[in-house]
Amino acid sequence: MKKTIALLLCLLLILALAAGCSGGGDKKSAGVMTYAEYAAAALDTKVVIETYVQAKQSWWDDKATVYTQDKDGAYFLYNMACSEADYAKLVPGTKIKVTGYKSEWSGEVEVVDATFEIESGKYIAKALDVTKLLGTDDLIKHQNEFVSFKGMTVEPIQDADGKDAAFLYKWNGTGSEGDDLYFNVSLNGKTYNFTVESYLCDKDSDVYKAVKALQIGDKIDLEGFLYWYEGVNPHITSVKTAK
């Protein structure tokens, strides 16, 4: 009996070690939430997370808006207190510990009123292919993550004069060069509205130029951050001809 118990304990120990070394999740410092704990936290509660910068959207008046992600999920940091000097340090991959409040604005779950400190560590997420999740309830589980969409078709979008266009400056076509770009893409008969956020990718970026060159009917692969505004509204960072 003793031998059986000892054998069982050994097996359990090996399994536990294997799980610990698998690298499947992020090991968090003391007092820091796992992504699962963050996801389960109620809105308006204080959250402490460790995460990695994936992209920066903007800095203004000592506030930074940043797309971040760890190995388990993503966190959008809105208007986080940040000096201009610290903003320069937030290069993709940088590990930061963030203390703030979980909030929701028009469906976008984000961390607001946050402060941060830079920690040692680096991680850059690979784009997760969520093409098959489009139109499903599971897509929102990947909110704010760096994702890809494969084999999408560019659909017409109506400009301010009611004419079909491949893209618009601003949501209704009232903008001009340098403003956000909006365009429609479809898959399996369903159409989705995607955005090139001009603070994230400005008019000189490759993706901005690529979207301006789109034609209705083009087949494209896209990458970007799975942002939400009254529904899914990805902030696209890359557009390429579909493979």
Partner 1 sequence: MKRFFSLLLCLLMIPGMLLLTGCHGSRSLPDFVPPEEFDESRSYTVTFWAKNDTNKTQTRIYEKAIEDFQALYPNITVNLRLYTDYSKIYNDVITNISTNTTPNVCITYPDHIATYLTGSGTVVPLDELFADPDYGLGGARLRFPSPKEDEVVPQFLGECAFAEHHYAIPFMRSTEACYVNKTFVEALGYTLPETLTWDFVWEVSEAALAKDSQGNYLVNGQKVMIPFIYKSTDNMMIQMLRQKGADYSTPEGDILLFNDTTRELLYTVAEHAATGAFSTFKISSYPGNFLNAGQCIFAVDSTAGATWMGSRAPLMDISADRVVDFETAVLPIPQFDPQTPRMISQGPSICVFNKADPQEVLASWLFAQYLLTDEVQTAYAETEGYVPVTRTAQASAEYRDYLDRCGEDDLEHYEVKIRASRLLLDHVGDTFVTPVFNGSASLRDAAGQLIENTAKSVRRKETVDDAYMDELFRDVNSLYRLGSGSTGGRKDLGPLPGTAVFLLSALVVVWILLLAYWLFDLLRKRKRENGT
> d(Cα 212, Cα 50) in Å, to the nearest integer?
37
Cβ-based nearer residue to partner 1, 101 or 123: 101
Q: What are phi and psi of 122, to 5 degrees?
A: -150, 140
Q: For the CB of residue 110, give the shortest distance to partner 1 in the complex, in Å.
A: 12
Q: For the CB of residue 15, give the shortest distance to partner 1 in the complex, in Å.
A: 39
Q: Rule CB under 8 A: say whether 172 interacts with partner 1.
A: yes
Q: Rule CB under 8 A: say whether 44 interacts with partner 1.
A: yes
User: What does each C-alpha distance from 193 to 36, 82, 158 come to in angstroms?
Assistant: 29, 31, 12
Using CB under 8 A, which residues numbered 197 to 236 contact partner 1? 229-231
Q: Rule CB under 8 A: say whether 171 interacts with partner 1.
A: yes
Does residue 41 contact residue 33 with C-beta atoms inside 8 Å? yes
Q: Rule CB under 8 A: say whether 81 interacts with partner 1.
A: no
Q: Please, what sign has the CA dihedral across residues 123, 49, 66, 104?
A: positive
Instruction: Tokens for 68, please give them.
Output: 């971040």
Q: For the CB of residue 103, give the shortest distance to partner 1 in the complex, in Å.
A: 8
Of the candidate spans 33-41, 84-92, 145-153, 172-180, the one that interacts with partner 1 by CB under 8 A turns out to be 172-180
Among 27, 46, 132, 141, binds partner 1 (CB under 8 A): 46
> d(Cα 115, Cα 105) in Å, to the nearest integer?
19
Q: What are phi and psi of 47, to 5 degrees?
A: -130, 145
Q: Which residues bind partner 1 (CB under 8 A)?
A: 43-46, 101, 103-106, 113, 160-161, 170-176, 229-231
